[in-house]
Structure 1
Amino acid sequence: MANPRKVLISEDVTGAGIDRLKGKYQIHYDPDLWKKVPELEGMIPGYDALIVRNQTKVTAGLLAQALSLRVIGRAGAGYDNIDVPAASREGVVVAFSPEENAVSVAEHVFALLLALARKIPGADKSTKGGGWERKKYHGFELWGKTLGILGLGKIGFRVALRAKAFGMRVLAYDAYLSSTSLHVTESGALLTSFEGVLAQADFLTVHLPLTPETRGILNGEAFRKMKKTAFLINTSRGEVLAEADLAQTLKQGEIAGAALDVREKEPPGESPLHGLDNVILTPHTAGLTYEAQEKVVDAVAEDVDRVLSGQAALRYVNFGTPKKRAGDDW
């Protein structure tokens, strides 16, 4: 193929979808390029597509140098690492995979929820150490408990459906939905206020996007509105939760426990949360199943291919086809 389009992959994005792109385009794959910002800035002018996960910071400055860029493919649902308004001004499509990992994340929520309710990590550690502490590791049934969901989108909705199978009562807060929205009526969730969910939930699961409004929304003030017996689970974005406030809340016994798959900073480094027995931590793996990642990579590769082939992306944040800029020779 004469003068093939060029695709730059700056993080660990591999799979059959990428293999198919290699058959049509010139691919440069460097899973650590996101760490080497000057090198990334030097390379980006010559590429038509950029594929990232959540580590590459696609800033306005980087986009201004991306003279040939037509599409950014975000392998995942969140896109807070991409300056979408700047991409739109530059005419660049921001494609993503909005629900390809949603089932995996919803299942991970229940893995964490059950581990909290039944004290599984502590019981496992104790038993492997020679203990047999049955009384210490009494747990709780999910049947009849109230699950509070913050954000009833593609993942929150799937969590609600699974909660029904466990016989749970489901409350939800979502600033963008009404009581007649499909995700509300079909999940059986009762839509209520943010404060109402906090006050009534036995288990609170967070599925909020990171926006100026949601950054730090779960802080000391919010935690004080929760039941002392409540458990908190966050698989959305680490920055929606103030970790220092959570650590203090847990130490003071103001809520019963927490499970976090996402952190304010990733990797997090030292944290007071790491020494608490009533905290379960996983390294942002809720969406990392073999099935989900195959679907995520297939989706982003398909949309990058569509844009580079002159078609509209199917899954996008801003627009489906690139906007021609002055001086472009597309």
Structure 2
Amino acid sequence: MKILVTPRSFGKNNPELFDRLAAAGLEVIRNDTGGILSAGQMREKLAPCHGLILGVDPLDAAVLAAAPQLRAVAKYGVGLDNIDLAACAARGVKVSRTVGANSNAVADYALALMLAVARKVPLIDRRCRERDWGKITSIDLHGKTLGIVGLGAIGKCVARRARGFEMKILAHDVVWDEAFAREAGIERADPDRICREADFISLHVVLTDETRGLINARRLAMMKKTAVLINTARGGLIDEAALLAALREGRIYGAGLDVFEQEPPADPAWYELDNLVMGSHCSSSTAGAVEQMGRMAVDNLLRDLDLR
């Protein structure tokens, strides 16, 4: 029985994951391209497979149609926007995800981006390497207002960290956890209010038809000139053309983006901004998170293939 493993970090530091798969009688086909697989590459590699450990590579209806034996998909992460769930359900393909495995890692990175943008850390570092020791004035994080859009596992981890900076926290989630909000001192607010009042806005929602373009030109216009926007979730949550214009014109203070609709972004204007800190979709890429995601993905796949 063959399976395809697409995430490049899977088993990189814990090769025993491959031993577990082999011991279960599975033959592993690896992603040997060095990048995210295209739909065409997915169709070719997935064709003989019964199982799939999937990163951010596309799994649409056409890819699924090329894999008639596929029975289980173990998402290496939590976002399911690259998977045609309706097509999987129609085919009886089981889909799992590694909920909670990377929550702390992503929350750490979100805070790192807030600090890096607010304190202009990359700019200061670059100037220092050019032997420019001039002082650069930045803005504070401590005591400011943080708006969290998406108070799920990762959003809650961000809130816990923000309390250490004595931040006022506003949050929005369609499924509201009143007990946690009360314990953490979080005030419920809709996205418009968050955009108007927050000094820092951090996005932690899944990408759906409803959340696509959540941060658009209208909401960017609501933000303070000193606002910082952070996205470690999915690129499609933001109207990137509108954000690029706002950053270039200095209408908000800055942004920290670990995700883009196209990765890497094609427009060269992104790379010229001093008020942007960019990431390569790496917020969950810590040794601990990668190890935990790998273990959970293997557990989920073996369970769904009835091999546990």
Q: TM-score range by the shorter chain?
A: over 0.9
The residue identity in structure 1 corresponding to 2:90 is R
- After superposition, what is the alpha-carbon deviation per residue over 1:66-118, rounded to whole angstroms, capped at 9, x for unaligned? 32221001111111111011101111110111220110110001111111221
Distance 1:186 1:66, change over 3 A: farther
Question: What is the CA distance between 1:139 and its match in structure 2?
Answer: 2.6
Question: What is the CA distance between 1:42 and its match in structure 2?
Answer: 4.5
Contact 2:201 2:228 in 1 (8 A): yes
The residue identity in structure 2 corresponding to 1:108 is Y
Instruction: Report matched runs for 1:44-193 at 5 Å.
Output: 44-55=46-57, 57-134=58-135, 137-177=136-176, 180=178, 182-193=179-190
Distance 2:211 2:89 in 1: 23
Distance 1:292 1:249, change over 3 A: same
Distance 1:303 1:251 in 2: 44
Contact 1:152 1:183 in 2 (8 A): no
Residues 1:9 and 2:11 are matched in the alignment: no
The residue identity in structure 1 corresponding to 2:18 is I
Secondary structure (helix, strand or coil) at the match of 1:291 reads: helix
Query: Normalising by structure 2, what TM-score?
Result: 0.92
Question: What is the CA distance between 1:37 and its match in structure 2?
Answer: 4.2
Which blocks of at least 5 consecutive residues in structure 2 are unaligned?
A: none
Contact 2:39 2:63 in 1 (8 A): no
Q: Which residue of 1 aligns with 2:278?
A: 281
Contact 1:104 1:289 in 2 (8 A): yes
Contact 2:43 2:64 in 1 (8 A): no
- After superposition, what is the alpha-carbon deviation per residue over 1:188-237, rounded to whole angstroms, capped at 9, x for unaligned? 21111111111110111111210001111211111001111111111110
Contact 2:102 2:293 in 1 (8 A): yes
Q: Which residue of 1 aligns with 2:250?
A: 253
Secondary structure (helix, strand or coil) at the match of 1:132 reads: coil
Residues 1:27 and 2:28 are matched in the alignment: yes
Contact 2:7 2:76 in 1 (8 A): no
Q: Could you say what the CA RMSD is over the residues aligned between the two structures, in angstroms? A: 1.8
Distance 1:290 1:191, change over 3 A: same
Query: Normalising by structure 1, what TM-score?
Result: 0.86
Distance 1:82 1:109 in 2: 25
Residues 1:237 and 2:239 are matched in the alignment: no
The residue identity in structure 2 corresponding to 1:209 is V
Distance 1:229 1:34 in 2: 36
Question: What is the CA distance between 1:6 and its match in structure 2?
Answer: 2.1
Contact 1:116 1:258 in 2 (8 A): yes
Q: Alignment length, in residue pairs?
A: 302
Distance 1:185 1:66 in 2: 48
Distance 2:85 2:66 in 1: 15
The residue identity in structure 1 corresponding to 2:52 is L
Distance 1:92 1:142, change over 3 A: same
Distance 1:209 1:264 in 2: 14
